[in-house]
Structure 1
Amino acid sequence: MPELLALSTSKITSTERHVQWRGYTYERIDLLLKWCFRETRDAGKECLRTNYHGTKQVIGALLPLLLASDDGRVVNVSSELGQLRLFGDEALRRELDDVEALSEERVDAVVAAFARDLDAGAAARGWPAGAMAAYTVSKAALNDYSRVLARRHPALRVNCVHPGFVRTDMTVNFGLVPPEEGAARVVAEALLPAGAYFQDGKQAPFV
């Protein structure tokens, strides 16, 4: 009987303990769905820690169990705000879209550079502008990490998905997509080929 396990990327110590216990309980994990959202100024850095670094830590902790599955899958819930067209630096956009040359270390370095610039003129340095800049960087980095992970582990299906503007408490119920439909879109992407980004139920460009 399948079991649903809820984990928080903002509580890594607790997550690691839970994963260690689960590792003794189960031999494998078939599907990992990852979703998170945050954003102010200290909140911007917390957003990066939660959406990007926290996601990586959860996936890293669960990776041995996913690889033990005959059909391991990872679906990272992203956002249309993570598209690279929102970056003002064209050279950086091209670099982050070059999946063959991209590495986890380079994505980490980009996130670290943005974190250093958060306090002074980030947009002027070619970063995404506006109140959601940290969220945009975190989701773009998550998309790129998903592509790197899919290339590194071809036995896994790794995708990221923007389920649409879902009607939830987080969107103050202004969302256009019913929660059931948003959830169905996320789960559906677990069945599709790896290394892609899906938006509103269709494959879409990362840029």
Structure 2
Amino acid sequence: MTVLTARDEKKGIEAVEKLKECGHSDLVDFHQLDVTDPPSIASLADFVTTQFGKLDISWYVNNAGINGTIMDPEALRAAAAAGLGKKDVEVNWSEMLAQTFQLAEECIKTNYYGTKKMTKAFVPLLQLSDSPRVVNISSGQGRKKKLTEERIEEVLNEFLRDFKEDMLETECWPPALSAYILSKAALNAYTRIVAKKYPNFCVNCICPGFVKTDMTFNAGIFTVDEAAENVMRLAVFPSGIPSGLFFFSQEVTPF
């Protein structure tokens, strides 16, 4: 059984209906979830506990994420047509997006703190499983050096302070997709922290690539099915897979 979640209940129910049309209605349940809302996280954890007792399938995928920008759809599609998402293709992100402090703050709350809160809420349930897996959906944009949990939060707070004071360039933060890059770097570092803290867990992060989703205005290279296949491979791999790694599609990549 898989529990599908979405912040927008209507969209979540529509997704389940589509799965029913494919004959998977008995394999999927839905529950509303907003990872930035602690009561919503607690409600989901209570639902899983009540309905299943534990995560019998033993895997848990953190997929909630936003880019923290106002994106120009046509500019993004033009960049995609010019090779965005392919190796060694340079992109001038500043020409296709705008950033605000409010969006940056929301991005970090969702991509990093939301995932962190979800992980902490579900660790007790995962510990009941024989082979617990956690897969964090990340990005190649966020590959940074190792950080402690305390240092992660210090860096994020420094970034938001500098953003608010219009000092991103002065303090040498990423000029575009700033909050997205920082949030994913934090997520990657946190993935390794959780993997070390729970050695019987298999905890990894993966960049599925430039995927055709609502967030990319369907301008990506990979289909949703192709991306999901690589994510699920990590979730259902046989026991013994290494933990605390970063994957790009199917390949292990240095952080």
TM-score normalised by L of structure 2:
0.70
Q: Which amino acid aligns with 1:143?
A: N
How far the C-alpha of 1:158 sits from its partner, in A, is: 0.4
Which residue number in structure 1 is paired with residue 46 of structure 2?
A: 20
| Of 37, 57, 61, the match for 2:66 | 37
How far the C-alpha of 1:22 sits from its partner, in A, is: 2.3
1:77 lines up with 2:159 in the alignment: no
Off by >3 Å, runs of 4+ in structure 1: none
How far the C-alpha of 1:201 sits from its partner, in A, is: 1.7
How far the C-alpha of 1:168 sits from its partner, in A, is: 1.7
How far the C-alpha of 1:117 sits from its partner, in A, is: 1.2
Which residue number in structure 2 is paired with residue 46 of structure 1?
A: 106
Contact 2:48/2:54 (<8 A) preserved: no
CA gap of 1:26–1:161, structure 2 versus 1, over 3 A, is same
Moved more, 141-150 or 14-23: 14-23
Larger-gyration structure (1/2): 2
Which residue number in structure 2 is paired with residue 4 of structure 1?
A: 3
| Of 173, 176, 185, the match for 2:230 | 185
Which residue number in structure 2 is paired with residue 205 of structure 1?
A: 254
Which residue number in structure 2 is paired with residue 123 of structure 1?
A: 169
Deviations along 1:25-83, whole A, 9 cap, x unmatched?
33322111111123132000000000001111111111100111111111000011112
Distance 2:67 2:37 in 1: 14
Q: Which amino acid aligns with 2:171?
A: R
Gap regions ≥5 residues in structure 2: 6-32, 69-98
Contact 2:195/2:202 (<8 A) preserved: yes
Contact 2:67/2:215 (<8 A) preserved: no
Distance 1:203 1:71 in 2: 21
How far the C-alpha of 1:127 sits from its partner, in A, is: 1.9
Q: Determine which structure has greater relative contact order: mean sequence separation of CA pairs < 8 Å that are 6+ residues apart, divided by chain length.
A: 1
Contact 1:189/1:198 (<8 A) preserved: no
Q: Which amino acid aligns with 1:162?
A: C
- Give the SS at the match of 1:125: coil
TM-score normalised by L of structure 1:
0.85
RMSD: 1.5
How far the C-alpha of 1:5 sits from its partner, in A, is: 3.4
| Of 107, 113, 117, the match for 1:57 | 117
How far the C-alpha of 1:111 sits from its partner, in A, is: 1.2
Q: Which amino acid aligns with 1:32?
A: Y
Moved more, 48-57 or 161-170: 161-170
Distance 1:21 1:167 in 2: 31
Aligned residues: 189
- Give the SS at the match of 2:216: coil
